[in-house]
Amino acid sequence: MKYIDEFRDGAIAQKIAARLAAEADPARAYAFMEFCGGHTHAISRYGVTELLPPNVRMVHGPGCPVCVLPIGRIDLAIHLALERGAIVCTYGDTLRVPASPGAGGGEALSLMRAKARGGDIRMVYSAADALQAARTNPGREVVFLAIGFETTTPPTALVIRQAAAEDLKNFSVLCCHVLTPAAITHILHSPEVRDWRTVPLDGFIGPAHVSIVIGSAPYEGFARDYRKPVVIAGFEPLDVMQAVLMLVRQVNEGRAEVENEFTRAVTRQGNAAAQAVVAEVFEPRESFEWRGLGEVPNSALQIRPEFERFDAEKRFGLTYRPVPDHKQCACGEILRGVKRPTDCKLFGTVCTPESPMGSCMVSSEGACAAHYAYGRFRDIPVVAA
Partner 1 sequence: MCLALPARVVSLAEGGMDAVVDLGGVRKSVCVALVPEARAGDYVIVHVGHAIGMIDPEEAARTLALFGELAALEAGDSVWAEPFDKLRTGSVEALPPGQPASPSTSSGRTEVMAP
Partner 2 sequence: MSTIKKDYVRPLNVKTGRVDMNHGAGGRAATQLIEELFLPAFDNPFLRQGHDGAALPLPAAGRLVVATDAHVISPLFFPGGDIGCLSVHGTVNDVAMNGATPLYLSASFILEEGFPLADLKRIVDSMGAAAREAGVSIVTGDTKVVEKGKGDGVFISTTGVGVAAPGVDTSGANARPGDVILVSGTLGEHGVAVLSQRESLAFETAIVSDTAALHALVADMLAALPGREGDLHVLRDPTRGGLATTLNEIARQSGVGMLLWEADIPVLPQVDAACELLGLDPLYVANEGKLVAICAPEAADAVLAAMRAHPLGAHAARIGAVTEDPHRFVQMATKLGGRRVVDWLSGEQLPRIC
Binders of partner 2 among residues 11 to 30 (CB under 8 A) are 13-14, 17
Nearest partner of 240 among 23, 29, 56, 25, judged by Cα: 56
Interface with partner 2 in residues 90-119 (CB under 8 A):
96, 104-107, 112-113, 115-118
Question: Apex CA 68: angle with CA 337 and CA 245, to 5°?
Answer: 40
Which residues have C-beta within 8 Å of that of residue 50, sequence separation ≥ 6? none
Q: Pick from 210, 251, 202: which is nearest to 233 by CA?
A: 210
DSSP 203: E
CB of 153: closest distance to partner 2 in angstroms? 19
Binding-site member from 141, 259, 289, 365 for partner 1 (CB under 8 A): 365
Question: Using the rule CB under 8 A, is 31 a contact of partner 1?
Answer: no
| Contacting residue, 97, 331, 338, 370, with ligand SF4 by CB under 6 A | 331
Backbone angles phi, psi at 338, to 5 degrees: -80, -30
Among 76, 213, 245, 334, binds ligand SF4 (CB under 6 A): 334
Site residues for partner 1, 86-115, by CB under 8 A, read: 91, 93
139 touches, from ligand SF4, partner 1, partner 2, none (C-beta below 5 to 8 Å by class): none
Crossing angle, helix 237-253 and helix 37-45, to 10 degrees? 110
Cα(340)–Cα(129) distance, rounded to whole angstroms? Answer: 37
- Minimum Å gap between C-beta 283 and partner 1 is 19
Write out the binding residues for partner 2, residues 51-90 only, by CB under 8 A: 51
From the number of C-beta atoms within 10 Å of its C-beta (0-12, 13-18, 19+), residue 88 rates as buried
Look at residues 312, 308, 309, 288 and name the one whose alpha carbon lies nearest to residue 298.
288
Specify the stretch interacting with partner 1 by CB under 8 A; choose among 203-211, 218-226, 313-321, 329-337.
203-211
Q: Are 288 and 296 in contact (CB under 8 A)?
A: yes
Residues 340-359 that bind ligand SF4 (CB under 6 A): 341, 344, 346-347, 351, 356-358
| Count of beta carbons in the 10 Å neighbourhood of residue 279 | 12
Residue 368, contacted partner among partner 2, ligand SF4, partner 1, none, CB below 5-8 A by kind: ligand SF4
Closest alpha carbon to 282 in 131, 158, 370, 376: 158
| Binder of ligand SF4 out of 250, 368, 370, 374 (CB under 6 A) | 368
- Residues of this chain that interact with ligand SF4 (CB under 6 A) are 326, 329-331, 334, 341, 344, 346-347, 351, 356-358, 360-361, 368
- Residues of this chain that interact with partner 2 (CB under 8 A) are 1, 4, 8-10, 13-14, 17, 44-51, 96, 104-107, 112-113, 115-118, 123-125, 129, 237, 342, 347-350, 352-355, 369, 372-377, 379-381
